[in-house]
Structure 1
Amino acid sequence: MADLINELQLKIERLENEINFKNGLISILSHDSKEIFGNFLLLIEALEQKTIREEDFFNLLPQVKSDAQKNLQTVQDSTAWLKTQYGEFEIKSVKIMVFDLFQRLEENYAVKLKEKNINFYFKGDTNSFLHTDRLLLEYVLDKILNNAVKYSLPGQDIHLQYVTENSEDIISVVDFGTGIGEKYLYAIFNYDNPVFNGTAGETGVGLSLKIVKNFVSLMHGNIKIVSTENKGTTVSIFLPKI
Structure 2
Amino acid sequence: MFKLLKICSSQVPFDIFVIPKSAQLNVHDLDRASALAALDFDYNGLKNELESLSILAAKIAGTELSEINLLDSYAQWTVASSLGGSYQKPLEATVCNHTVEEARDFETRLDLDPRFKNKEFVTQQGFIYYFGIPLTLGQTIPVGSLCVVGKSINSLSKDQKDQLHLIAQQIEQYLGLKQHTVHLEAQLKQQQQLTRRLAHDIRSPLSGIAQLKTEQDFKTMEREDLEIYLSAAVASAAAILTLTDDILSKDAARLHTNASAYVTLTELGTKLYELYTPQATPKNIELQIDYDATSVKVPRKNLLPLAGNLIANAIKFTPSGGKVSVTLKILRDQDPTCIEIQVEDNGIGIAPENLKTITSGTARAQAGTAGETGYGLGLRFVKELSERQGGTFTITSKEGLGTKVFLRLPID
Instruction: State the TM-score, normalized to the length of structure 1.
Output: 0.62
Task: Check conservation: 1:99, 1:122, Cα contact below 8 A.
Answer: no
1:159 aligns with 2:325: yes
Seen in structure 2, the aligned counterparts of structure 1 residues 27 and 166 have a Cα distance that, compared at 3 Å, is closer
Q: Give the number of the structure whose residues are more often helix, by fraction.
A: 1
Q: Report the counterpart of residue 303 of structure 2 in structure 1.
A: 137
Q: In structure 1, the residue corresponding to 2:357 is in which secondary structure?
A: coil
In the TM superposition, residue 96 of structure 1 has moved relative to its aligned partner by 2.1
Alignment of 1:19-38 (within 5 A): 24-25=27-28, 33=101
Seen in structure 2, the aligned counterparts of structure 1 residues 93 and 220 have a Cα distance that, compared at 3 Å, is farther
- RMSD (CA atoms): 4.2
Q: Report the counterpart of residue 221 of structure 1 in structure 2.
A: 391
Q: What code does the residue aligned with 2:278 have?
A: V
Alignment of 1:43-82 (within 5 A): 44=112, 58-59=117-118, 79=143
Alignment of 1:43-192 (within 5 A): 44=112, 58-59=117-118, 79=143, 91-127=258-294, 129-132=296-299, 134-163=300-329, 164=331, 165-167=333-335, 168-192=338-362
CA deviation profile, 1:81-133 (whole Å, cap 9, x unmatched): xx9xxx9996545432112222111111222222222222233422264523x
In the TM superposition, residue 207 of structure 1 has moved relative to its aligned partner by 3.0
CA–CA separation in structure 2 for the residues paired with 1:155 and 1:177: 10
Seen in structure 2, the aligned counterparts of structure 1 residues 138 and 79 have a Cα distance that, compared at 3 Å, is same
CA–CA separation in structure 2 for the residues paired with 1:57 and 1:176: 33
Q: In structure 1, the residue corresponding to 2:370 is in which secondary structure?
A: coil
In the TM superposition, residue 208 of structure 1 has moved relative to its aligned partner by 3.0
CA–CA separation in structure 1 for the residues paired with 2:30 and 2:273: 34
1:237 aligns with 2:407: yes
Q: Report the counterpart of residue 208 of structure 1 in structure 2.
A: 378
Task: Check conservation: 2:316, 2:374, Cα contact below 8 A.
Answer: no
1:193 aligns with 2:363: yes
CA deviation profile, 1:157-189 (whole Å, cap 9, x unmatched): 211113325333211111111111101002222
Task: Check conservation: 1:95, 1:129, Cα contact below 8 A.
Answer: no
My pick for the range that moved more, 94-103 or 120-129, is 120-129
CA deviation profile, 1:181-223 (whole Å, cap 9, x unmatched): 1010022222321221211111253333333223213322121
Gapped regions of structure 2 (runs ≥ 5): 1-25, 33-97, 123-132, 145-174, 184-256
Task: Check conservation: 1:130, 1:241, Cα contact below 8 A.
Answer: no
Seen in structure 2, the aligned counterparts of structure 1 residues 57 and 143 have a Cα distance that, compared at 3 Å, is closer
In the TM superposition, residue 139 of structure 1 has moved relative to its aligned partner by 0.8
Q: What code does the residue aligned with 2:143 have?
A: T
In the TM superposition, residue 148 of structure 1 has moved relative to its aligned partner by 0.8
Q: What code does the residue aligned with 2:405 have?
A: V
Structure with greater Cα Rg: 2
Gapped regions of structure 1 (runs ≥ 5): 1-22, 47-55, 64-71
Task: Check conservation: 1:25, 1:78, Cα contact below 8 A.
Answer: no
Task: Check conservation: 2:323, 2:346, Cα contact below 8 A.
Answer: yes
Seen in structure 2, the aligned counterparts of structure 1 residues 25 and 91 have a Cα distance that, compared at 3 Å, is farther
CA–CA separation in structure 2 for the residues paired with 1:223 and 1:27: 17
Alignment: residue pair count: 194
CA–CA separation in structure 1 for the residues paired with 2:381 and 2:116: 36
CA–CA separation in structure 2 for the residues paired with 1:109 and 1:27: 20
CA deviation profile, 1:17-41 (whole Å, cap 9, x unmatched): xxxxxx9338999xx748xx99x68
Seen in structure 2, the aligned counterparts of structure 1 residues 92 and 225 have a Cα distance that, compared at 3 Å, is farther
CA–CA separation in structure 1 for the residues paired with 2:398 and 2:121: 33
Seen in structure 2, the aligned counterparts of structure 1 residues 107 and 28 have a Cα distance that, compared at 3 Å, is closer
Q: Report the counterpart of residue 156 of structure 2 in structure 1.
A: none
CA–CA separation in structure 2 for the residues paired with 1:61 and 1:120: 28
CA–CA separation in structure 1 for the residues paired with 2:297 and 2:393: 17
CA–CA separation in structure 1 for the residues paired with 2:119 and 2:288: 39
Seen in structure 2, the aligned counterparts of structure 1 residues 149 and 183 have a Cα distance that, compared at 3 Å, is same
Instruction: State the TM-score, normalized to the length of structure 2.
Output: 0.39
CA–CA separation in structure 2 for the residues paired with 1:28 and 1:122: 28
